């Protein structure tokens, strides 16, 4: 099974100089857990819910009123590039879902950006992989 059949697109993304607050808003709005970070059409990183939890471990949701407290970072002033994962694993649309499943399990990740050339053309999530395997099993 080829990834192209199962990946989702178009992909929501964010620029590296945009704010963490904007990233959180996009994640919530689109009900997703990962955002590719794209500058000038090129993938430069990925921002995940896990990255945000690690960066703000002491304030998981950072409510508006906490942003003004001393010592609590304000997500309005923190660029995505400071909390994103820069070393992004990618696959192409012609790679197989089976290969993606192996990589996702080994690296313990929930999604993989699908790149053609240097452009993000889709995302393959753990749920997409499960759907592909269930369809292949005749379920």
CATH number at residue 71: 3.10.580.10
Say how many domains are in the chain: 1
| pLDDT of the residue at 81 | 93
Segment 23-57, tens digit of pLDDT: 999 999 999 999 999 999 999 999 998 888 877 76
Looking at residue 105, what is its pLDDT? 95
- pLDDT at residue number 27: 92
Give the range of the structural domain holding residue 108, as residue numbers without chain letter: 3-136
Q: Residue 77 has what pLDDT?
A: 77
Low-confidence ranges of the chain (pLDDT < 70): 57-75, 137-139
Dist CA 77 CA 59 (whole Å): 16
pLDDT value of residue 92? 96
Contacts of 129 (CB under 8 A, 6+ apart): 6, 97, 100, 101, 104
């Amino acid at each position: 099974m080829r990834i192209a059949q199962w990946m989702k697109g178009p992909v929501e993304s964010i620029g590296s100089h945009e704010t963490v607050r904007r990233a959180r808003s996009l994640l919530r709005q689109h009900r997703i857990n990962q955002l590719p970070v794209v500058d000038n059409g090129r993938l430069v990183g990925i921002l995940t819910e896990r990255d945000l939890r690690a960066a703000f471990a002491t304030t998981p949701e950072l409510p508006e009123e906490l942003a003004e407290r001393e010592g609590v970072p304000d997500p309005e002033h923190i660029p995505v590039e400071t909390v994103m994962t820069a070393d992004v694993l990618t696959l192409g649309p012609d790679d197989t879902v089976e290969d993606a499943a192996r990589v996702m399990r080994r690296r313990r990740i929930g999604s993989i950006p699908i790149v053609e050339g240097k452009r993000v053309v889709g995302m393959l999530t753990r749920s997409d992989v499960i759907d592909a395997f269930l369809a292949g099993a005749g379920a």
